[in-house]
């Protein structure tokens, strides 16, 4: 938007070498601006180091120090570059001013308590939910009449409808504001406006935005001899920038930070932070095997600090397996069992059902829709529903088994309270939730199978089973592979279902449903061992990533072999 | 497969096929039906065994409607109806706190006869039961007089037959079968939305979802367009980085993101649920794929007219990209609406004002929960919007799921 306006303003300038006095003056101001910026940055560094009367948490403190140091260097370079009219001055100055605008704007929002106010906005929305719904209806109306207008641009009816929609939304907006009662918000804004720091932040945002606009203008581009390639690159980065910043702040930085934390003994409140190298990983993965003559041998035969994970009898010898983190190893065992049971149960029905749904019989779309519903309904609600289905005394599963004569009335099984069925119950819930999605994935695979294969098989007199076995399954090989891998990755991160369904506590009974993500959550947020939990996260990441990599390599080899996947 | 086949055998195959499909559909739909049924039951009905799908409420009768003996029942309250196994008529419980005497006939001490405390006359004789002396009463049962001793005094209900006002019986209330009728309790929804604070959670979820979805659409359109159409140094490697980020499971980011939110003071705040999720590598990928598929000539004409990239994007590309935007919106909606792990980590102080639906549901439906009907009403509130959105926008879901499987 800013660029557009600037374009228009400077459209008349087409002699790059002639000194444009207005631009020249502006650029001198810009140089000065950068010099001031550099000076302020030095002060910023000093302030952030001293951390003044406001004790900042360490992360913003370091971030501010880094930011100001960087800002100092960049400002100095920009000031020189703008003055000397070098080619790189424009991109650099643009970057500096743009980032400064964003940081200053975020700081302004912070000073105006905008982030906390989001919560209050939730409250306002609660108070004024009815007007909100009316606004939504009005906008929907506008959207629909817009669609109608697109078909018949001259029709009067839809036009009126659209106006009515806007009117409705407008009236409801006023109603919304009245109901939501923003007086608290307004008074708090007014109060903040009197604080010099807030005013300074607004001024800084404004100035930085002006400087960005100046440098973005076509006149400035000509002045600095910008090429089309650089212009393209700048606009590309500008378009990408919101996304890119989010990517770095909320993905790339946390990813690296989590690796860093995993080498520390680090608690939630940051009171302990000791570098311990690989100790977290060693603790998580340590196993000890001890051969014992007695079948009831326990911790005493293991190294100190190890607890019994399992007692095994191999070839007439008794082994005690110990681990330092028994819960984590148990969770790995559980998730392996879960994977082995849940993945076939979520994939095989999908394979069979998709083969039926792919036929052009009437009503197939309805079934496809029905099967898909569990995967969109939300795992918490679904788990709660299944919790009642599995209930020992009033649950439907036991009642149906009772009706079928499999179990006796009142003698029903406590599906979720017995260790041998708890995980199995969760397998069922998981498979129930995910098979419909997999069916749809398979349906896409079916579209890629050439119809001639089926026709040829029918001419040869193959029966349904033969067609399924010899044509459908082999042709869907790649889809199957994809489906199995994605389902496995989902299954490896099992958490929500366990959180709701496990009894009496998450992971119970007796660690039968302890999963790796649950262990991680408990370590990080119950035991406050964030360093150790990060190490667990990376172990899990490596496991999950190996699945992904497996799929990736296979896809690549398929492509290089000329196969269509 | 065997679409073109004809004949009786093919018909049977078809019927069997449909039966299989329907039975799977029943397995899929049944839990939702149970959820809906339970959400309309009252707090006694939920614990009945065998479980039923029909919400029931006690059948009652207005005391003024029937001729009843003048008993000390509160005449304003409707009287619940009961059935006795030996009688066809319905009985109204006119008083549920009368003194009841339990008699045991001497010739059959395991039998219990419950009568009004004033009935029965002492014969004067005594009998030794378990080492204690008990008076013997003469009581009237079914027209004959029986000798019995009084084993206990307790309180029970007084029942009056509707057909025969002289047939007054005394029995323990929990022994008799209450008559029930179809009666959905829709107040459950009101109760869960207002008293259990689900209304607030609902609006929080709506707010978070709208903010996340619109943020994702905006950043994804911008980023996707940049990746698709603008050549700049480093765009290739950056895009690979984006693709790679899709493979990183969210659990790896939980702890550092939590630390980040802790340090900027967003714990327990909706900002923490919104701002980190306004950027989507997946959405960027989706939009890029769509923009690439749009013929470049459309744009080149506009570029020659000296239109800026910004104008081209919003005037030409975005209107064309409506299907991809809809797909992104529906997926973003589902993700934001149903997300649970991150809210569980962030909204951790037990303050209900910051809760989103999934969190409120998991708190209300905890292991020790007894208000199953309310929990299920809450579950319906949480599950209905995504299901409805799916039903209306399923074209976008299904197509996109399909294409992700094909790539």
Residues of chain A in contact with residue B269, where contact means CB-CB under 8 angstroms, are 115-116, 118-119
Q: Chain B 319-348, CB below 8 Å of chain A: which residues?
A: 334, 337-338, 340-341, 344-345, 348
Answer yes or no: are the C-beta atoms of B253 and B315 closer than 8 Å. Answer: no
Closest CA to B55 of B63, B44, B66: B44
Tokens of B147: 């000798």
How far apart (Å, rounded) are the C-alpha atoms in residues A110 and A108? 5
Does B257 reach chain A within 8 Å, measured CB to CB?
yes
| % of chain B exceeding 90 in pLDDT | 21
CA B333 centroid distance within chain = 20
Residues of chain A in contact with residue B259, where contact means CB-CB under 8 angstroms, are 59, 257, 261, 270, 530
Q: Which H or E element spans position B159?
A: strand B144-161
- How do residues A411-469 score in pLDDT, each as one tens digit? 677 888 888 889 999 999 999 999 999 998 898 888 888 888 888 888 888 888 888 88
Residues of chain B in contact with residue A370, where contact means CB-CB under 8 angstroms, are 25, 28-29
CA A521 centroid distance within chain = 17
Q: Chain A 213-242, CB below 8 Å of chain B: which residues?
A: 232-237, 239-240, 242
- DSSP bridge pairs for B116: B100
**CA B401 to each of CA A439, A441, A483: distance values in angstroms, whole numbers, following the listed order:** 10, 6, 11
pLDDT of residue A200: 86
pLDDT of residue A218: 80
Greater confidence, A376 or A118? Answer: A376
Q: Do the chains contact at B386 and A377, CB–CB below 8 Å?
A: yes
Residue A152 pLDDT exceeds 60: yes
- How do residues B207-259 score in pLDDT, each as one tens digit? 999 999 999 999 999 999 999 988 888 888 989 888 888 888 899 999 999 98
Tokens of A49: 């180091």
Selecting from B255, B270, B367 the residue whose C-beta is nearest the C-beta of A118 gives B270
Q: Exposed, middle or buried by CB within 10 Å (0-12, 13-18, 19+), for A563?
A: exposed
- How do residues A223-279 score in pLDDT, each as one tens digit? 887 787 888 888 888 899 999 999 999 999 999 999 988 998 888 776 777 788 888
- Pinpoint the alpha helices (H) of A85-113: 89-111
Report residue B156: phi and psi, to 5°. Answer: -150, -160
Residue A12 pLDDT exceeds 60: no
Average pLDDT, chain A: 83
Across B354-361, average pLDDT? 88
Does B17 reach chain A within 8 Å, measured CB to CB?
yes
pLDDT of residue A334: 93
Across A357-376, average pLDDT? 88
pLDDT bracket for residue B93 (50, 70, 90): confident
How far apart (Å, rounded) are the C-alpha atoms in residues A50 and A61? 10
How far apart (Å, rounded) are the C-alpha atoms in residues A247 and A250? 6
CA angle A222/A227/A231 to nearest 5° reads 90
Q: HSE-up of B348 (CA within 13 Å, CB side)?
A: 14
pLDDT bracket for residue A194 (50, 70, 90): confident
Query: In terms of CA atoms, which chain A residue is nearest residue B242?
Result: A247
Tokens of A506: 């998450």
Q: Chain A 455-484, CB below 8 Å of chain B: which residues?
A: 458, 464, 467-468, 472, 479, 482-483
pLDDT bracket for residue A402 (50, 70, 90): confident
How far apart (Å, rounded) are the C-alpha atoms in residues A228 and A234? 10
- DSSP bridge pairs for B161: B91
How far apart (Å, rounded) are the C-alpha atoms in residues B93 and B73? 9
Answer yes or no: are the C-beta atoms of A198 and A192 closer than 8 Å. Answer: yes
pLDDT bracket for residue B368 (50, 70, 90): low
Q: Do the chains contact at B248 and A251, CB–CB below 8 Å?
A: yes
Residues of chain A in contact with residue B396, where contact means CB-CB under 8 angstroms, are none
pLDDT of residue B70: 55
Average pLDDT, chain B: 82
User: How many C-beta atoms surround the C-beta of residue B15 within 10 A?
Assistant: 10
Q: CB pairs below 8 Å between A and B: how many?
A: 344
CA torsion angle A390 A396 A397 A398 (round to 10): 100
Closest Cα of chain A to B396: distance in Å?
12
Residue A6 pLDDT exceeds 50: no
- Kindly write down the DSSP assignment for every residue of A304-368, as one continuous string: TT-EEEEEEEETTEEEEEEESSHHHHHHHHHHHHHHHHHHHHHHHHHHHHHHHHTS--TTHHHHH
- Kindly write down the DSSP assignment for every residue of A267-308, as one continuous string: BTTSS-EEE-TTHHHHHHH-EEEEEESSTT--GGGSPTT-EE
Closest Cα of chain A to B110: distance in Å?
25
Residue A562 pLDDT exceeds 70: no
User: How many C-beta atoms surround the C-beta of residue B122 within 10 A?
Assistant: 11
How far apart (Å, rounded) are the C-alpha atoms in residues A145 and A139? 10
Q: Who contacts A517 (Cβ-Cβ below 8 Å, separation ≥6)?
A: A493, A494, A495, A540, B251, B341
Residue A54 pLDDT exceeds 70: no
């Amino acid at each position: 938007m800013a660029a557009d306006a600037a374009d228009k303003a400077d459209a008349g300038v087409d002699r790059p070498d002639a000194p444009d006095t207005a631009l020249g003056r502006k650029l001198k101001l810009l140089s000065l601006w950068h010099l001031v910026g550099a000076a302020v940055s030095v002060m910023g560094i000093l302030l952030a180091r001293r951390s003044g009367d406001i004790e900042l948490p360490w992360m913003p403190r370091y971030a501010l120090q880094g930011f100001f140091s960087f800002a100092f260097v960049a400002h100095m370079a920009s000031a020189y570059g703008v003055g000397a009219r070098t080619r790189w001055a424009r991109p650099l100055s643009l970057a500096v001013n743009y980032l400064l605008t964003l940081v200053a704007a975020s700081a302004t929002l912070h000073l105006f308590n905008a982030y906390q106010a989001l919560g209050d906005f939730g409250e306002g929305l609660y108070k004024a939910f009815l007007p909100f719904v009316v606004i939504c209806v009005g906008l929907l109306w506008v959207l629909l009449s817009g669609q109608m207008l697109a078909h018949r641009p001259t029709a009067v009816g839809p036009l009126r409808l659209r106006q009515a929609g806007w009117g409705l939304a407008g009236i409801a907006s006023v109603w919304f504001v009245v109901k939501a009662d923003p007086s608290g918000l307004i008074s708090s804004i007014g109060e903040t406006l009197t604080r010099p720091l807030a005013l300074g932040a607004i001024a800084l945002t404004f100035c930085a935005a002006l400087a960005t606009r100046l440098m973005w203008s076509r006149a400035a581009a000509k002045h600095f001899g910008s090429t089309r390639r650089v212009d393209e690159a700048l606009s590309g980065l500008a378009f990408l920038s919101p996304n890119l910043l989010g990517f770095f702040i909320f993905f790339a930085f946390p990813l690296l930070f989590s690796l860093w934390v995993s080498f520390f003994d680090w608690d939630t409140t940051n009171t302990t932070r000791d570098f311990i190298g690989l100790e977290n990983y060693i603790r998580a993965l340590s196993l000890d095997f001890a051969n014992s003559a007695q079948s009831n041998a326990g911790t005493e035969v293991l190294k100190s600090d190890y607890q019994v994970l399992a007692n095994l009898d191999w070839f007439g010898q008794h082994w005690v397996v110990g681990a330092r983190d028994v819960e984590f190893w148990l969770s790995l065992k559980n998730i392996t069992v879960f994977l082995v049971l849940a993945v076939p149960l979520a994939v095989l029905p999908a394979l069979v059902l998709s083969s039926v749904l792919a036929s052009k019989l009437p009503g197939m779309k309805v079934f496809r829709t029905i099967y898909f519903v569990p995967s969109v309904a939300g795992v918490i609600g679904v788990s709660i529903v299944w919790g009642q289905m599995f209930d020992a005394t009033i649950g439907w599963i036991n009642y149906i088994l009772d009706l079928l004569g499999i179990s006796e009335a009142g003698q029903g099984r406590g599906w979720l309270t017995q260790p041998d069925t708890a995980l199995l119950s969760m397998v069922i819930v998981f498979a129930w939730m995910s098979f419909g999605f997999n069916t749809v994935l398979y349906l896409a695979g079916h579209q890629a199978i050439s119809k001639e294969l089926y026709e040829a098989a029918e001419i040869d007199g193959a029966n349904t089973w033969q067609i399924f076995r010899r044509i459908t399954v082999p042709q869907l090989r790649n889809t199957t592979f994809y489906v199995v891998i994605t389902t496995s990755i989902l299954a490896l991160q099992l958490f929500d279902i366990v959180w709701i369904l496990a009894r009496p506590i998450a992971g119970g009974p007796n660690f039968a449903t302890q999963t790796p993500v649950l262990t991680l959550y408990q370590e990080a947020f119950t035991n406050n061992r964030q360093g150790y939990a990060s190490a667990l996260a990376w172990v899990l990441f490596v496991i999950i990533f190996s699945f992904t990599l497996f799929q990736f390599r296979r896809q690549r080899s398929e492509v290089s072999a000329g196969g269509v996947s | 497969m065997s679409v073109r086949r004809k004949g009786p055998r093919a018909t049977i195959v078809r019927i069997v096929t449909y039966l299989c499909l329907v039975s799977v559909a029943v397995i899929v739909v049944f839990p939702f039906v149970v959820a809906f049924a339970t959400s309309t039951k009252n707090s006694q009905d939920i614990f009945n065994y065998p479980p039923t799908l029909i919400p029931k409420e006690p059948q009652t009768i207005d005391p003024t409607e029937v001729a009843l003996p003048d008993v000390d029942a509160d005449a304003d309250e409707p009287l619940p109806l009961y059935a006795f196994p030996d009688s066809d008529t319905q009985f109204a419980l006119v008083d549920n706190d009368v003194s009841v005497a339990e008699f045991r006939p001497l010739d059959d001490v395991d039998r219990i006869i419950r009568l009004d405390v004033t009935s029965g006359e002492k014969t004067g004789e005594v009998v030794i039961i378990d080492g204690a002396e008990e008076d013997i009463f003469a009581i009237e049962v079914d027209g004959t007089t029986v000798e019995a001793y009084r084993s206990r005094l307790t309180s029970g209900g007084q029942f009056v037959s509707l057909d025969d006002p002289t047939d007054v019986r005394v029995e323990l209330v929990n022994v008799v079968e209450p008559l029930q009728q179809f009666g959905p309790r829709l107040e459950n929804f009101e109760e869960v939305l207002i008293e259990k604070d689900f209304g607030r959670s609902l609006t929080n979820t709506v707010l978070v979802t709208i903010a996340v979805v619109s943020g994702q659409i905006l950043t994804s359109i911008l980023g996707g367009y940049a990746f698709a159409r603008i050549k700049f140094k480093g765009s290739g490697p950056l895009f690979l980085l984006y693709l790679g980020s899709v493979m990183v499971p969210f659990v790896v980011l939980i702890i550092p993101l939590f630390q980040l939110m802790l340090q900027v003071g967003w714990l327990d705040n909706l900002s923490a649920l919104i701002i980190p999720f306004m950027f989507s590598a997946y959405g960027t990928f989706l939009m890029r794929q769509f923009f690439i598929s749009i013929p470049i000539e459309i744009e080149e004409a506009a570029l020659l007219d000296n239109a800026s990239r910004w104008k081209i994007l919003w005037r030409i590309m975005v209107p064309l990209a409506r299907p991809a935007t809809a797909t992104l919106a529906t997926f973003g909606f589902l993700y934001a609406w149903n997300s649970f792990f991150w809210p569980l980590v962030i909204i951790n102080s037990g303050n209900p004002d910051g809760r989103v639906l999934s969190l409120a549901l998991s708190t209300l439906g905890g292991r020790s929960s007894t208000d199953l009907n309310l929990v299920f009403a809450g579950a319906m509130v949480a599950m209905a919007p995504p299901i409805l959105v799916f039903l209306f926008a399923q074209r976008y879901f299904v197509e996109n799921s399909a294409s992700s499987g094909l790539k």
